[in-house]
Amino acid sequence: MIIKDEIHGNIEFDELETKIIDTKEFQRLRKIKQMAFTYLVYPGANHTRFEHSIGVMQLATRVCEKLGFDDEKTKKIRLFALLHDIGHIAFSHELEKVSKPFLGAHEQIGDKKILNGELKDVIGENYDPKEIAGMEKTVEGRIVSSDLGVDRMDYLVRDAQNTGVAYGVIDIDRIIHTLELRKNELMINEGGLEAAESLLIARFMMFSTVYLHKTVRIAAAMFQRGFENAVREKEVKPEQFLSAGDEEALLILGRTKNAGAYVERLVARNLYKEAYCVDSEKFAKISNRIREYEKEISKKASCDVILEYPSGFFKPVDFKIAPDDGTEPKPISELSDLVMALKISEEKRKKLMILCSSENRETVRKISKQIFS
């Protein structure tokens, strides 16, 4: 089978891979947008986890060729790459943020899907499903999931393409060309330092301006609150979302008393507004009391209030640069001032948002200002 991809062109699949793509679980990825609520800001952001997954597989193949892996190892890595997002539920990371205590992380959900049911049977025709599921912890798995992994390469380029922004442009060819394995560890040689820096800059810019756009954060916060309310009141069971796509998830929550109003606003794009914000320095002092402040402001203003703060933005960069002179590889943070500058810049850009409906905005702003100033 051949699929024409908007980023990588023609992608070929063997018989086993075709069977996996045709499973119900993999086809479900067509119903999950790659960028969750970003389409409310960037109308073109309607691409799905389906396209992304086949793109990651294609890039993983190129890395395997560069590293000189044999056909058998390459086929296993292709399967792992193809299935790396199989555990994502509706609205991906946005719902996972509040569903994780009930369902686990998407990696855990993915392992269960690979080790049970139709996927297990299909994979088992040629390989041990446990080996494919367990590749996350191996150096082969790092080809997909590391800071230099093909998962990141694909989503940056694909998301930039579909949103129309220029921030996600990276030199994939150069990064792959300079990848190497030393002491069973994936790293990049000295000649690829600038390309690696460009990837990190692209990631920072995409998070700062696209993934964590204020409107996207507000929509996600409303959806999350609706889910929490509906689960707390036992109107829905978290397990209902394991097989649901984005639209079905909205339908499930939209029928409930405690989440319906949020969903109605989301569908109509009648979102909450930012009434007040708290900078990162002040937030650090109050981070363990967010829900207390939320209840206090809500009570004083006599309206629904949500306090939202971005998490998981900048993750420590741990990949290494291999010097051309054969000396010991060093973490990129020791060789690049840009990496540390990005971390500092990100911390400064973070802020806590106090959200409410537009009609209550001024009241909430005054109360918030009194509390936080």
Which tens digits make up the pLDDT trace of 11-39? 999 999 999 999 999 999 999 999 999 99
205-231 pLDDT tens trace: 898 889 989 999 999 999 999 999 999
Chain-centre distance for alpha carbon 308: 18
CATH code of the domain covering residue 220: 1.10.3210.10
Structure confidence at residue 130 (pLDDT) = 95
Number of domains the chain contains: 1
Q: What share of the chain is helix, strand, coil (3-state, %, to 5)?
A: 60, 10, 25
Which has the closest alpha carbon to 101: 248, 250, 238? Answer: 238
Taking the C-alpha atoms of residue 249 and residue 265, their distance in angstroms, rounded to an integer, is 15
184: in domain: no
Tell me which DSSP letter residue 207 carries. I
353: in domain: no
Global confidence as pTM: 0.92
Taking the C-alpha atoms of residue 221 and residue 215, their distance in angstroms, rounded to an integer, is 10
190: in domain: no
Give the three-state DSSP class for 312.
coil
Structural contact between residues 372 and 277, judged by C-beta atoms closer than 8 angstroms? no
43: in domain: yes
360: in domain: no
325: in domain: no
Structure tokens at 276: 């007040």
Structural contact between residues 45 and 162, judged by C-beta atoms closer than 8 angstroms? yes
Structure tokens at 91: 């609205």
Structural contact between residues 86 and 29, judged by C-beta atoms closer than 8 angstroms? yes
Alpha helices in 22-138 (DSSP H): 24-27, 49-67, 71-82, 92-103, 106-114, 117-123, 129-133
DSSP assignments along 37-50, one per residue: GGGGTSTT---BHH
Task: Please list the ranges in the chain whose pLDDT falls under 50.
Answer: none
337: in domain: no
Q: What is the extent of the structural domain holding 48?
A: 1-164+213-270
Residues paired with residue 321 on neighbouring β-strands, in sequence order: 188, 330
Structure confidence at residue 340 (pLDDT) = 78
359: in domain: no
